[in-house]
Structure 1
Amino acid sequence: MEVCEGDDDLMKKVEAISVDDRSKSTKVIDLLRRFLGIQQRRAEAYAKLRSGFSQYMAGGGEIAYQHLCGEITGEFNECSKQVIEMESFLLRPDLCRGDLAELLKAVQAQEKQKLQLTVRIQILKKAGRPSERPVSHDSCHFSKPEEHVHECMHVHELTEVAGTEDAEADAEYDSALKEAICGVQDAVTTINEHLEEVRYEIEALESEE
């Protein structure tokens, strides 16, 4: 069968388009895999933060904990920076995947919410329930210095009103802690759903190559 010159040119154009499509898919797959790698870094950072906080609550030093918080903050900032760059790449004319850029952006929003609530949980746990917090002895005086017996000036007879105030404060604390924990759980669920979408997209693109 004779192939005319016009048909030959058309075949070359089709082949060129096919190569461009494969190149585009490869770039998108690479970006999405890198994104999943960043999510793994975030997961490892959270594990390190939880471990450090547990050690702090068990009697670890304040300085060591603050140093860890600074380190984790830097790690999260770097992860966010890289994801924002990926969003920009996906929006470029040669890739034109605004849908995936929006997906990554949605994960970013949930990660921000998750981090803020995680910090809130740790602050609440550090403070403890109001009724269980240690009291300051700055206003105490010794009634018998030689026997090291002191009287707490701030300790008062427990009345019904005081008991009610403590109960209300504890209820507010418990509610705030529960709300933050539920918020983290919701964020994690949403993030995992988005990550499944990313994995599905990778599989779909790989099947087309």
Structure 2
Amino acid sequence: MEDFEKKVKITEAMDIENGADSSKTLQLLRRFLQIQQRRAQAYANMRRGFADYMVSGGESAYQQLCNEITVEFNECSKQVLEMESLFLDPDYGRDDLAHLLRSVQNQEKQKLHLTATIQLLKKAGRPSERLVSHEKCKFKNPEGHECVHVHEITEAAGTEEAEADAEYDNALNEAIRGVQDAVTTINDHLEEIKYEIAALEAE
């Protein structure tokens, strides 16, 4: 009888411990979802800021925004890395969740890199549509000037421009596809995390 009572007490103690662990796991996963919300907000700010920049050309405001967003993304990454190491800790023993967070981190890194690539490409514009600067031209009078950009369009030059445009389009489309793939993978992982939260809440 005594042995039985001991076993019951040990089992109860283990249940309490597991309950504490699952509530800590739950807290971490909820915090992780909040961090993902912060990242989504930072992307929305970045898109808005870039759209404003493309209209106004305000370089310093755009640079300032990029710096702020970089700080925000670094802070989010730092917090997720801390969570990842906690899940790997024997107290949690949730390697599966650590790997899930690591995968999201990798996809977020890829998404950010490709988003920056898209913005740089859009900023530069298609080669055939880039604005011509007249800084080096000779002005004879205010109405007319000798434009150094005027040159005869040969077949070779036309082909070169078309190739440059095709290269630009390919690079842009590839980056856009890469962002879409990263977003899909991140969303899949977030669904897994939401299922995990639901399972822990149901315990």
Q: Which residue of 2 aligns with 1:183?
A: 178
**8 A contact 1:117–1:184 mirrored in 2:** yes
Q: Which residue of 2 aligns with 1:41?
A: 38
Instruction: Identify the match of residue 72 of structure 1 among 69, 74, 84.
Output: 69
CA RMSD, 1 decimal? 1.0
In the alignment of these two chains, the number of paired residues is: 203
CA distance in 2, matches of 1:60, 1:13: 68
Q: Which residue of 2 aligns with 1:126?
A: 123
Determine helix, strand or coil for the equivalent of 1:137: coil
Q: Deviations over 1:97-138 (max 9, x none)?
A: 011000000000000000000000000000000001012213
Instruction: Identify the match of residue 2 of structure 2 among 2, 5, 9.
Output: 5
Instruction: Identify the match of residue 160 of structure 1 among 152, 155, 163.
Output: 155
Q: Which residue of 1 aligns with 2:84?
A: 87
Q: Which residue of 2 aligns with 1:205?
A: 200
Q: Deviations over 1:161-183 (max 9, x none)?
A: 11111111000000000000000
Amino acid at match of 2:202: S
Q: Is 1:25 matched up with 2:22?
A: yes
Q: Deviations over 1:178-203 (max 9, x none)?
A: 00000000000000000000011111
1:60, distance to aligned residue in structure 2 (A) = 4.1
Amino acid at match of 1:31: L
Q: Scaled by the length of structure 2, what TM-score is found?
A: 0.97
**8 A contact 1:107–1:191 mirrored in 2:** yes
Amino acid at match of 2:183: V
Q: Which residue of 2 aligns with 1:171?
A: 166
CA distance in 2, matches of 1:6, 1:96: 29
1:5, distance to aligned residue in structure 2 (A) = 2.1
Q: Which residue of 2 aligns with 1:116?
A: 113
Q: Percent identity?
A: 66
Amino acid at match of 1:207: A
1:154, distance to aligned residue in structure 2 (A) = 2.7
Q: Which residue of 2 aligns with 1:57?
A: 54
**8 A contact 1:83–1:104 mirrored in 2:** yes
Determine helix, strand or coil for the equivalent of 1:158: coil
**8 A contact 1:90–1:101 mirrored in 2:** yes
1:160, distance to aligned residue in structure 2 (A) = 1.3
Amino acid at match of 2:157: A
Give unmatched runs, 5+ long, in structure 1: none
Q: Deviations over 1:34-86 (max 9, x none)?
A: 00010000000000000000000011411000000000000000000000000
Instruction: Identify the match of residue 142 of structure 1 among 139, 146, 150.
Output: 139
